[in-house]
Amino acid sequence: MAGSPTLAGLFAQRSVVGVAEFAVANSAQITLSTFALGSCVGVIAYDPVAKAGGLLHLMLPDSTLSPDKAAAQPAMFADSGIPALFNALAGIRAQRPRMRTFIAGGACVLSGPDNFKIGERNAIAVRRLLSVYGCRSIGEDVGGTVNRTLHLNVGTGILSAKLPDRSYEVPMGA
């Protein structure tokens, strides 16, 4: 019957990743989502062989600003969040050499001058750390002045990005 839900659709689940959080999954029914990345950066990592993915929504580049916060909430910072993301992915059998990464966010969304350049500093820190970890980057969408929303379908490996003026998809498993 046209318009009837599919079995997969009935069991599909969305895991929403908030600011300073991350999530990993290896279930084909899971979509990892994060909303309104402004100066924050979203890091998506996907292992197409294990069909396992993770999404990190980090706020700041460097945990030396607040080691206590980094210990309690590692996803707040790039230098503690990225290792936590990769450790969690390893726990669901993803392997870093096979992972493909994509980063988004790092915008300047303030109406006036951004003297701290948090978005830019976040993107630089993430690129540096991903390089140190030897991860294959398949792209990025950083900078500018607009927010981004990301959805990673773990089953298909398709990353969907939504901006105020456009949407696009990135095949993370290709």
Handedness of CA 61, 66, 70, 73 (dihedral sign): negative
Strand partners, 44: 55, 102
Q: Considering only CA atoms, which of 58, 32, 25, 28 is closest in space to residue 130? A: 58
pLDDT over threshold 80, residue 3: no
- Which one of 37, 40, 70, 150 is the catalytic residue? 40
From the list 11, 71, 54, 65, the residue with the least C-alpha distance to 157 is 54
The reply to whether 2 falls in a domain is no
Q: Is residue 8 part of a domain?
A: no
Q: What is the pLDDT of residues 62-87, one digit of tens each?
A: 999 899 999 999 999 999 999 999 99
The per-residue pLDDT for range 83-139, each reduced to its tens digit, is 999 999 999 999 999 999 999 999 998 766 767 899 999 999 999 999 999 998 999
Report the candidate in 87, 27, 72, 37 with the shortest Cα–Cα distance to residue 57.
Answer: 37
Residues 64-83 as b/e (b if ≥16 CB within 10 A, e otherwise) read: eeeeebbeebbbbbbbbbbe
Domain annotation covers residue 6: no
Domain assignment present for residue 84? The answer is yes
Residue range 6-44, pLDDT digits in tens:
655 656 799 999 999 999 999 999 999 999 999 999 999
pLDDT tier at 173 (50, 70, 90 boundaries)? confident
- What does the alpha-carbon distance between residue 100 and residue 125 come to, in Å, rounded to a whole number? 18
Q: Which residues contact 26 (CB under 8 A, 6 or more apart)?
A: 50, 51, 52, 53, 92, 93, 94, 154
Which residue segment(s) compose the domain that 19 sits in?
Answer: 14-171
In a domain, 57, yes or no: yes
Model pLDDT, residue 75: 98
Q: Can you give the CATH number for the domain in which 34 is found?
A: 3.30.1330.200
Q: List beta partners, residue 148.
A: 37
State how many domains the chain has.
1
Provide the pLDDT for residue 110: 77
More confident residue, 113 or 50: 50
Is 40 marked active-site? yes
Closest CA to 43 of 73, 70, 83, 72: 83
